[in-house]
Chain A
Amino acid sequence: MKRITRSLAFGAVGVLAMTGCASGSNSASEAEFPTDDIRLTVPWAAGGSGDLTARTIAPLLERELGVEVIVENKPGANGSVAYNWLKDQEPDGYNLSMMGVEVATLQFQDYDIDPANYAPIGQGLAGPGAIAVPTDSPFETLEDLIEAAKASPGDVTYSSPGVGSVWDSPAQGLQELAGIELTSVPFDGSAPAVAAAAAGDVDFSIDAIGTQKAQVDAGKLRYLAMLTDERDPKNPDVPTAKESGIELTNASWVGIMAPAGTPDEVVQQLSDAMAKAVEDPEYRKVIENSNLVPTFKDSDEMKEFLESEANRYGPWIALAQGK
């Protein structure tokens, strides 16, 4: 019996060790910060692109900062469990969290999340969006789609990864800008939402270009319009929504933040370390292979960005709830 208990105990230790052993101590940094391990919380379940970003960037931050960066998942309630937890941590730079657009938008869905409670460190990646239709769709251009929606309001359907999400909201924006009425069919995440469009269950998918790519490559979906400022270099034939007169751009993004009140020097130091990590070829390779774009914004830019995202999404979410 003892043997069993012991082997089970070893197993437990082994599993625990797996989370922690991605270390690699390096030369100590000259500044006073950091002297201790840093905890990087992931507000989502293990395995998604946000989680992978954290696990890819953590060893690179370790190299820059000279201390261990421990990644810990705290998923729940759209990320708000982790965001709420972070708000109450000591603002000393040792407790960080990954963040997404929900930091700016959850406040519009009756969550008690205020962006002012956080000090952004930086952005790590962007996932620019697109509108894609099934290959056999009658819509050849965005104008076709808009015309059809004008002809019979509410009959054109689209799939989104969930109400209030980073992709449902810009679809509300599309309706507002084009003066049309669409019907949202929310799914449980991006993968099933895009698959539903590929199977023809809905008329179009609005999601990240990279998420739709697999179905486009397989000939099940076709990009109709890019929600980017310029045409996507990898898909130069696909026009942007702007070219059709719809001033709509959107991208999902992932960043890192600390609790508000973290000293400016510490935020600056973390932000500099993150800037170098995002430039690292290893990081770029992982992110690009996931069909995402490594993108960096520093702390100040992120502060402004969070505000502008809140201003953009607020009315869209109100629009979605009004229906």
Chain B
Amino acid sequence: MIQIAASPVTDGIMTVLQPDTLLYIGLGIAVGMLVGAFPGVTATMAVALASGFTLTLDPIQGLAVLLTIYVAAQFGDRVPAILINTPGTPASISTTFDGYPLALKGQAGLALTTSAFGSAFGMFVGIIILAVAAVPLSELARQFGPPEMFALVVFGLTMMVGVSSGRIIKGLAAGAFGLLLSTVGRDPITGDARFTLNILELNGGIPFIPVIIGFFGIAEVLNQILTRNRLEHHIKPVAQLGQWMPGRQLMRRLLKPMGIGAATGSVVGLVPAVGGDIAGVIAWENARKVSKHPEEFGKGSMEGLTAGDTSSTATLGGSVTTTMALGVPGDSVMAVMIGSMMIWGIQPGPALFSTHPDLVSSLVTIMVIATVLTLGLSLLRMRGMVRLLELPSHYLWVIILIFCMVGTYSINNSVFDVFMMMVFGAVGLFMLRFGFPAGPAVLGLILGPLAESNLRRALITDGWASIFTSPIAMVLLAIAVAALVVPPVRQHAKRRRIAGTAAEEARVS
């Protein structure tokens, strides 16, 4: 190997570039892509299971396996989202918004490739942030106490309007339904049971992954079964439809959504406890607002797909930063990883970067290698994956149903979760048939508990003053209000202008 002057940075890189470490990265990629593609099996679970086997490894090798699973799962989970409308992990919820419509239009191949490029771009932006600005940015994350978290979540909730794809009233109704569902379980502050109906499992709240799988995957399959005759000619044998690589013109159009996605994801990733699921949705909505073709969003927009995917992977760098530099898990995967790191004798926390300066460059190197290899692998593998859609639909339905059930069961080894998935599959079918979008309901379910518990924590400590005296919270709330108020006002103004000009013309003639 080339001899480079020893510094913590090169040391860190060199520890990763050992054959055995690279082997572990390969192992992580294989596991990560598989679990990503399997609905219900989340990156959190895969990392948790793998952590049992990496305990005896040396820390860098162990991190190589765990971090790589995390990275690779982010690519794998887009595949079922695009092909069968079922997010492989919650991080690809926004992928279903445009990815599946694109697949129905016969552009599954192009959607998969574009999504992979977007994901890789997001990943690199996140990694750069980790590499350059980990320590100062983690201080920003520390500013996020309960009032700031509450404001951020409120901002997230305003996305309900955007993901309603035009049906605002029905979207808000679905969102309220999601929020209502999120109140089931134990009260986060007093511990009292709420709406648990004496069902033991409901004490933990309604499990959101089975709900997501039910709303998206099961509901879609049920709907297809019910409308079979009309749909027979609808799903085309996509694999023959030529275009795989996005052309230069398309790429240029996608630069803006990629930028928006990367920026959104980086910021959201830094905030503890919020992950790719929310980041994807927020970026999707941000991109829609600035797009020249907002009407395509939700009906198969490459821009929407790219923005969401770039954003949800861009959170990784932020999550890792927050976790390593604050010792507070950036998301559920990192919560698991903290446990493993402590066993290796690495204590994530503010002191980490000064005591282990080489660790940052090792982390960055692992993530870069994992991203490059996974991107390559996903591009290679996709042609086979898309063939899946060529199957006669009745085979496809059975496969999807079995996958969803096995995946859901394996989350907690719980039959109750499978039952919930089927119940919410039926609810999702009802919503689909009557035009209630599932996106806002899922947002409500995920964000509801965060909004409630953080608001109440803020109120306990200092009352409403704790929110009004926090500049970050006030700015976020102002943005949230603007997000709600500006679009209808602007639309109203536009309508009046059009009406005005029409009246003018009428008068002239």
Contacts and interface: CB of A to CB of B under 8 A. Distances in A.
Interface in B7-42: 31, 34-35, 37-38, 41
A56 to B, nearest CB: 7
A217 B45 CA distance: 30
A69 to B, nearest CB: 12
A49 B49 CA distance: 13
A78 B204 contact: yes
Contacts of A196: 145-146
B273 interface: yes
Interface string B407-424: 000101110100000000
A38 to B, nearest CB: 16
Interface in B154-211: 186, 188-191, 193, 200-204
What band does the interface of chain A fall in when counting residues whose beta carbon is under 8 Å from B?
A: 35 or more
B390 interface: yes
Contact of B453 (A48, A111, A188, A320): A188
Contacts of B345: 289
Interface in A196-243: 196, 198-199, 201-202, 213-215, 217-220
B35 A15 contact: yes
B349 A215 contact: yes
B244 interface: no
Given A11-B38, A185-B457, A192-B273, A46 B45 contact: yes
A47 B38 CA distance: 20
B49 A52 contact: no
B47 interface: yes
Contacts of B453: 188
A76 interface: yes
Contact of B201 (A77, A112, A192): A77
B328 A191 contact: yes
A314 interface: no
Contact of A76 (B37, B191, B399, B412): B412
A195 B327 contact: yes
Given A77-B203, A191-B335, A199 B142 contact: yes
A162 B64 CA distance: 33
Interface stretch (A2-10, A116-124, A138-146): A2-10
B460 A185 contact: yes
B339 A49 contact: yes
A18 interface: yes
20 contacts: A1-B390, A4-B385, A4-B388, A12-B406, A15-B35, A15-B46, A15-B410, A46-B51, A52-B55, A71-B52, A72-B413, A75-B412, A76-B203, A185-B146, A185-B460, A192-B273, A196-B145, A214-B350, A214-B351, A321-B190
Nearest 4 A/B pairs, CB to CB: A46-B48, A214-B349, A47-B336, A218-B350
